[in-house]
Amino acid sequence: MAYHGEDLDLRTQQTWTPADVSSEPNAPSSNGKRGPFQAGPVLVEDTVLACFNQAYDIASAHRAIEVRVEHLLNAMTRVDPAAVALETHGVRVVALKRETATIIAGDIPAAPGSGAVSPRRSDELAELLRLSASFAARRNAAVSVDDLLHVLSDQRSDFAQSELLFRFSSRVGPRDMPREMPEPLPPLTRADSRYQPSSLRYSADYGRPAYRNEYLGTPADALQNSRIDALEQMLRGLSHDFSNERHIITGLIRDLTRDTLAHQDDQGRGQAVLIERIGALEAALRDGGAGSVETLPLVSKLENIEAALELRLQEMSQSWAVLSTRLQELEASVRARPVPDGVDLKPVTDRLDIIEEAVLGHDQHRGIGDLADRLAKLEDDIGRVLATSTDAGRADALLGGFDKIDGLSSKLDTHNGSLNELAVGLAERMSEVERAVAAEIETAAAKHQAYAHDLTEVHEALLKVNENQHTLAGSMDQWRTESATDVANILNRLAGIDRDAALPAETLAALNNHMEATNRFIIERYHRRHRFMYWLFGTDDWISASWPSTKATVAAEEQRLKEAGA
């Protein structure tokens, strides 16, 4: 079995070949091709090789670019011999496995796509392997799990992942003990404890364990919260840009509508004044046909009408030129301005349809047709007046008026043609604007659909993150419950041990009291039997022993009396 990656050459006892035995210096290694990070073969144990392969598989599954020390620690918790070694060093394997899995799952996959991923080893992992190999070379042995843990514990400042081991370690190693020895204590008396401390390498510490604060968030939670805040800020920025662009387009449409309505009002008022003037002229001609009327006022009125018509036509041409310029600017701004995603352009098309109907309506043509009818009727009335009149001067004046009216009619026809051309050009412009707006609407719809798809993906990702957070919270609650149960069991066992340990002490105390009483009795007896009176009389109750006993005499007398009575 060999390492799955291409930038580490890990050998076991079965695949190890000394450097001086190799026949070809440039021969390929037995572990496949090597990348630019190759640093020579390293002799490791089978357990270490299995841990490195497991770490490579974990990094590939999470689509990471590098195999880091976190992947190696998580792999060591999954391989049984390595897990046993961690337990031997006092590391809580379940807690370490959960924390490293949280850190690995919190990283965003750096490799895009869905193909195979070949992660490289990180510099920290290579440094850890190098230091472990140099430490094992002192013993002339292969790199073991104990060597890796020894490097992580000794080089705590060089490896940030060493804090994970010390965070989930429930024991204190020899390196963490104080260096200076305290002064020797005085010899213990019998009243002090007779139990000696354990001479094992790792003595049990029943003090209060340094559990992690349950209310503090993990680094994975902080990273996920920062990403969610960044997404919310991006969405708020896009919404603000959309609202600004919509306000700008609404203002442009409002200005265009106001200018168009003002132009229609001016044109309607001018046509009304012109029709009133022609009506007054017709009334005057009818009155002149019945009697004798001077032609000079008629000629002056026709001249005034001609001047007013020329002025009005000039104003209309200027207003149409201004309107055409505004439409060109609007068209250029619409083409140049990018339509933001999700903007509804239906109100713009509705306003443009209203403007087109107002400009290309039949009111203007109807007003011009009425004006032509009135002028034709006026021409017929003037012809009848000429037919009935005999005054040569009046006829000449009327003929001059007819010439002016013909010129006015030709100017009206010319202006009508220019208005028709302008209306046709305006209709073409409006159709182009409609096509451009329709194209922009299609583009906006496509962008809106893509934006909605992206929002859907973001929503699904947030749901997955929420599910992962709930899963982590459930796991943490379960771990806390299990830890509380374990602590309660440990406390119960410690209470039982304390009770069992107190029983011998009570027995020894009772035995001590009995021995003291026995000792006092023996000493008193010794003193009694070693005095002079005891030596002289053979007893310590020498008074009763020296007094003669009458018990035997009394008994003999009683026996004699019994025999005499019988």
Name the more confident of 528 and 218: 528
- Flag whether the pTM goes above 0.85: no
pLDDT for position 191: 47
Closest CA to 165 of 81, 70, 56, 236: 70
Does residue 101 carry a pLDDT above 70?
A: yes
Q: Which of 220-229, 323-332, 384-393 has the least mean pLDDT?
A: 384-393
Does residue 448 carry a pLDDT above 60?
A: yes
- The whole-number average pLDDT for the span 225-247 is 78
Does residue 195 carry a pLDDT above 50?
A: no
pLDDT band at residue 23 under the 50/70/90 scheme = very low
Does residue 20 carry a pLDDT above 50?
A: no
Q: What is the mean pLDDT of the chain?
A: 73
Provide the 8-state DSSP code for 185: P
CA distance 136 to 45: 11
pLDDT band at residue 206 under the 50/70/90 scheme = very low
Structural tokens at position 90: 């006092």
- The whole-number average pLDDT for the span 530-534 is 73
Does residue 6 carry a pLDDT above 90?
A: no
DSSP-assigned states of every residue in 213-262: PTTSPPHHHHHHHHHHHHHHHHHHHHHHHHHHHHHHHHHHHHHHHHHHHH
Does residue 502 carry a pLDDT above 50?
A: yes
Structural tokens at position 397: 């004046």
CA distance 62 to 47: 23
**How far is the CA of 61 from the CAs of 115, 376, 492, in angstroms?**
11, 93, 44
pLDDT for position 201: 45
pLDDT band at residue 180 under the 50/70/90 scheme = very low
CA distance 559 to 561: 5
Does residue 308 carry a pLDDT above 70?
A: yes
pLDDT of 57-97, one tens digit each? 988 888 888 898 889 999 999 999 999 999 888 888 888 88
pLDDT band at residue 278 under the 50/70/90 scheme = confident
pLDDT for position 177: 41
Most confident of the following: 361-365, 378-382, 415-419, 472-476 = 472-476
CA distance 61 to 120: 14
- The whole-number average pLDDT for the span 305-314 is 72
**How far is the CA of 128 from the CAs of 3, 31, 139, 167, 433, in angstroms?**
16, 21, 17, 19, 69
Cα torsion 517, 521, 522, 527: sign: positive
Determine contact, residues 225/323, Cβ cutoff 8 Å: no
Determine contact, residues 445/357, Cβ cutoff 8 Å: no
Burial status of residue 125 (CB atoms within 10 A of its CB: 0-12, 13-18, 19 or more): buried
- The whole-number average pLDDT for the span 337-359 is 57
Closest CA to 365 of 417, 410, 323, 427: 417
Name the more confident of 468 and 379: 468
- The whole-number average pLDDT for the span 514-526 is 89
* Helix/strand/coil for 390: coil
552 Ramachandran zone, left/alpha/beta (phi>0; psi -120 to 50): alpha
- The whole-number average pLDDT for the span 402-414 is 67
Determine contact, residues 487/479, Cβ cutoff 8 Å: no
Q: Which of 106-110, 139-143, 221-225, 269-273 has the least mean pLDDT?
A: 221-225
- The whole-number average pLDDT for the span 536-549 is 64
CA distance 288 to 282: 10
Name the more confident of 405 and 523: 523
- The whole-number average pLDDT for the span 40-64 is 89
Structural tokens at position 240: 């603000």
pLDDT for position 501: 85
pLDDT of 474-498, one tens digit each? 888 888 888 888 888 898 988 888 8
Closest CA to 309 of 331, 265, 278, 288: 278
pLDDT for position 537: 65
Structural tokens at position 523: 């000493």
**How far is the CA of 259 from the CAs of 264, 423, 449, in angstroms?**
9, 16, 36
- The whole-number average pLDDT for the span 15-23 is 54
Does residue 25 carry a pLDDT above 80?
A: no
pLDDT for position 50: 92
* Helix/strand/coil for 183: coil
Count CB neighbours of 153 within 10 A: 17
- The whole-number average pLDDT for the span 308-333 is 70
Does residue 51 carry a pLDDT above 90?
A: yes
Structural domains of the chain ordered from first start: 1-19+30-174 (1.10.1780.10), 228-455 (no CATH)
pLDDT band at residue 469 under the 50/70/90 scheme = confident
Determine contact, residues 436/334, Cβ cutoff 8 Å: yes
- The whole-number average pLDDT for the span 345-356 is 60
Q: Which of 44-58, 208-222, 256-270, 320-334 has the least mean pLDDT?
A: 208-222
Distance from CA of residue 304 to its chain's centroid? 79
Does residue 126 carry a pLDDT above 80?
A: yes
pLDDT of 238-263, one tens digit each? 878 877 877 888 787 788 778 777 77
* Helix/strand/coil for 64: coil
pLDDT for position 48: 92
| 413 membership: H or E segment, kind and range | helix 392-529
Name the more confident of 565 and 101: 101
